[in-house]
Structure 1
Amino acid sequence: MRSYLFVLPLIYLFLTACSNGNDLNIDDEPSDENKNSTYNNPVVPTSLPDPTIIKAADGYFYLYATEDVHNTPILRSDNLTDWKLLGTAFTNETRPNWEPNGGIWAPDINYINEKYVLYYSLSVWGGGNTCGIGVATATKPEGPFTDHGKLFRSNEIGVHNSIDPFYIEEDGKKYLFWGSFFGIYSQELNDDGLSIKPATTRQVAGTAFEAVYIHKKDGNYYLFASVGSCCEGANSSYRTVVGRSENLFGPYVNKNGEPMLENHYEVLIEGNDKFVGTGHNSEIITDDKGSDWIFYHSYLRQNPNRGRVLVMDQVHWVNGWPEITGQSPSTENSLPVFE
């Protein structure tokens, strides 16, 4: 998703990192009797928009985000709640440069062919015709990442505002989904995951959406996306929404059977008294107890200058649909279980 670079959150993030050995902790610690069983939101009270997460071979979770931290921040955790800033995916010398002055937005991390593969958007604000999606690889989740350049630009693929990539494999084939308010599209990739197969583009959802993520569960596919304005502080209208299909490429529909191709959806997460602008969710992570967890970003309604902080909530499955308790961010929640 598109992003301005927030100076205040950036300064705060590095001050926080330096003050406690790079551990990024929550604002409000739970009481002594609860601190071993609960966590507070935001999980990280500094700007980490558009999170993507992977559990690596070393057993740690790694999280990447839009570069409010220049060159794309990388964080690590063993429990999803205590995060350490490791560094960045790129340096000033190695960062992608095929879109001059472009920001690296909305990364998507994967493990493909024994490499960590990071798809990313590269764009300037308002550059919907020349922005596009590129790819970088590393042998370790903490990098360093080597950029392989662009997969395509908007004006090359014929989809305006081509950002927000998401990778998925199905029946031995590799696909990239993407899009931002001009349709959600899919594209088949070659076996290396580093290049596209021509003439394989298809539309799967309408023009209300961006920040696609697809989750497969019990024979159904769930297309998560975001609607509304992402980046207007306390005035942001961003919400996380979802539709369901029996096929990877749709049709995705809401509970009434109305198609996402016609911009219908179910609301999963929206703001409340504390949080506003809740969107661009991560992959769903399952803990050792079998509970599902999802990250997304949000502004703090009373302190939007923090930027889009990192929030985590449990996903409950009710009658074949994902739900977040209260349909909005929690303030305090039980910890994920990792043995």
Structure 2
Amino acid sequence: MTFEGVGSSPYDNKQKSVNDKYYSNPVINYSLPDPSIIKADDGYFYIYATESMRNLPIHRSRNLVDWSYVGTAFNDSTRPNFESKAGIWAPDINKIGDKYVMYYSMSRWGGEWTCGIGVAVSDYPQGPFEDKGKLFRSNEIKIQNCIDPFYIEDNGHKYLFWGSFRGIYATELTDDGLNLKQGADTVKIAGTAYEGTYIYKKNGYYYMFASTGTCCEGLKSTYTTVVGRSKNLYGPYVDKKGESMLENHHEKFIGKNYSFVGTGHNSEIVTDDNGNEWIFYHAVSKANPHGRVLMMDKVLWKDEWPYIDGGTPSIKDLKPYFKK
């Protein structure tokens, strides 16, 4: 779920690392929920996020730690408008062909039948993005609360996953990713406990990351990142006991600690030059509880299951490594 009622963000300030070897969480200490990340052709990582009723802020970094604000995906004249008085939530950025393609949710609180998912394109990761309009709305496909899109390519096909506490669903897209594939089935993938899904393929498994709990109650938020896995893209996704995410079973991946709560809606996993994998997500900082700040942690693996050290956000850790 994606909404933020916070004041202006200090976009002119770069987040600094602790020293040459370490970084600290949050990596950006103002509200940037629902992150989606891509490494662009120019060598920069770009991260996109929700921010209230604004136009999807974009930041970039060479090293995943020091981020600079570069603009917004839309402006007031180009922003989507298929849902009136709505926010643009939970962007998902991808490179499809020679275009940067961004899926987005458009919704307002309580609008679970009028919300929907749209798509926009750009020649450059920093935009500007040209809105191509909605793919569908909840009332058109008769699935409630159609938000939180996620795109994945698999075995030569392109798919879109989405959903928020009314089931997680998937369908196939056209080759350019800009439309639903005619005649493709819409399949329920996971149950009613989840939103903000992301799927990562590794060593023959598909890992479905998702968020469960409440996202937006400040320090009372119960958001938690969870995971299940499958041998097939469409599932069934199961926990370590073999129980299905269709029945809301999962493994906890990132929970709260004494410094951060509401740990959820993770990004794509990215890899540094040492082969270490990193994931971004948002959380509410007890030291700065206004909004949901940007977090980063290393993904570790044991018995073919992902985890982060201690199961909760790090305070300080070694920085990702990139060759200069």
- Normalised to the residue count of structure 2, the TM-score between the two structures is 0.97
* Partner AA of 1:291 in structure 2: N
- Aligned-residue sequence identity (percent) comes to 60
Match of 2:95 in 1: 111
Match of 1:74 in 2: 58
* Partner AA of 1:213 in structure 2: Y
SS, match of residue 58 in structure 2:
strand
Match of 2:35 in 1: 51
In structure 2, C-alpha distance between the alignment counterparts of 1:69 and 1:302, rounded to whole Å: 25
Please tell me the root mean square deviation across aligned C-alpha atoms, in Å.
1.1
In structure 2, C-alpha distance between the alignment counterparts of 1:7 and 1:82, rounded to whole Å: 23
Structure 1 unaligned runs (5+)?
Answer: none
1:28-78 residue CA offsets vs partner (Å, 9 max, x unmatched): x63xxxx10000000000000000000000110000001237111010100
| Pair 1:227-2:212 in alignment | yes
More deviation, 43-52/189-198: 189-198
Return the match for 1:87 from 71, 84, 89. Answer: 71
1:73-126 residue CA offsets vs partner (Å, 9 max, x unmatched): 010100000000001000000000010111000000000021000000000111
* Partner AA of 2:93 in structure 1: I
- Normalised to the residue count of structure 1, the TM-score between the two structures is 0.93
Give the 4+ runs in structure 1 shifted more than 2 A: 5-8
Match of 1:328 in 2: 312
Match of 1:157 in 2: 141
1:2: Cα distance to partner?
2.5
Question: In the alignment, is the contact (CA less than 8 A) between 2:52 and 2:87 conserved in 1?
Answer: no
Match of 1:286 in 2: 271
1:277-299 residue CA offsets vs partner (Å, 9 max, x unmatched): 00000000000000000000000
Match of 1:25 in 2: 15
* Partner AA of 1:277 in structure 2: G
SS, match of residue 156 in structure 1:
helix
SS, match of residue 256 in structure 2:
coil
Kindly tell me the number of residue pairs found equivalent between the two proteins: 322
| Pair 1:209-2:194 in alignment | yes
Greater helix share, 1 or 2? 1
Match of 1:256 in 2: 241
Question: In the alignment, is the contact (CA less than 8 A) between 1:2 and 1:125 conserved in 2?
Answer: no
| Pair 1:7-2:2 in alignment | no
* Partner AA of 1:44 in structure 2: I
1:277-330 residue CA offsets vs partner (Å, 9 max, x unmatched): 00000000000000000000000124312x000000000011100001110000
Structure 2 unaligned runs (5+)?
Answer: none
1:245: Cα distance to partner?
0.4
* Partner AA of 1:94 in structure 2: T
In structure 1, C-alpha distance between the alignment counterparts of 2:264 and 2:224, rounded to whole Å: 5
